[in-house]
Structure 1
């Protein structure tokens, strides 16, 4: 991956934290972590990464684009499933090294490739009796992933 070049780099912390200049602090791999929540409910939908091109496309189109680390490719959320993310707002944190997208799910109403609303569909109980078991939070699937993506063993996240 190439070094981010579509956005300015600010070396001055005060300018980075207090100015009105978007200067994302991409990591050494040219990526920025992105948390996506539902604009209406605030529920966390997914976590992904953007490179400079994905961020620029997201800003230009209002649709979420990401960088797939496993496929090493740019992707528009919903290009296969039809479950696009229409961006309502993009926020950056104080040092511009994380993004928060508030988005509306279009299509079947599922953000996760498993067909569920959120990728965070299981809860991790805590305490001595938890036993390392996950508890399902979202069980309803809004679409059949096998019908959309084909053989799940060939789906590379």
Structure 2
């Protein structure tokens, strides 16, 4: 439950960064809608997404952000970031799969994240991932792009 409020606070504070737009222009040019959905299976075994406000430990929750270009001009080189909420663990599932991950919210790299332990490269546990970032090369005028990540409630 704390994870939901944490993510909303972070997103409201502004998790969108742009390389090609000034901050004021980016704020006017881009809107974002965030949804949190429980990931479940229907009677036929197909994955379904159900709106959720509170979730018990072990529940898989997908956070999906829809970024909409609200102006009549294309936006280039847009970087969008979603934090992994506190009290939640990233499952390794992200859309688009081109997401980069971070353990500190500042330094990003392709997944899986790796580090040296005793001279060997090993995968960093998903529980240490704190944020994901997607680079959107082009967001056409008046169009939208979706990004999402799945988490498990701790």
TM-score, length of structure 2 as denominator length = 0.25
Considering only CA atoms, is the larger Rg found in Structure 1 or Structure 2? 1
Structure showing greater relative contact order (alpha-carbon pairs closer than 8 Å, 6 or more residues apart): 2
Q: 1 or 2, which has the higher strand percentage?
A: 2
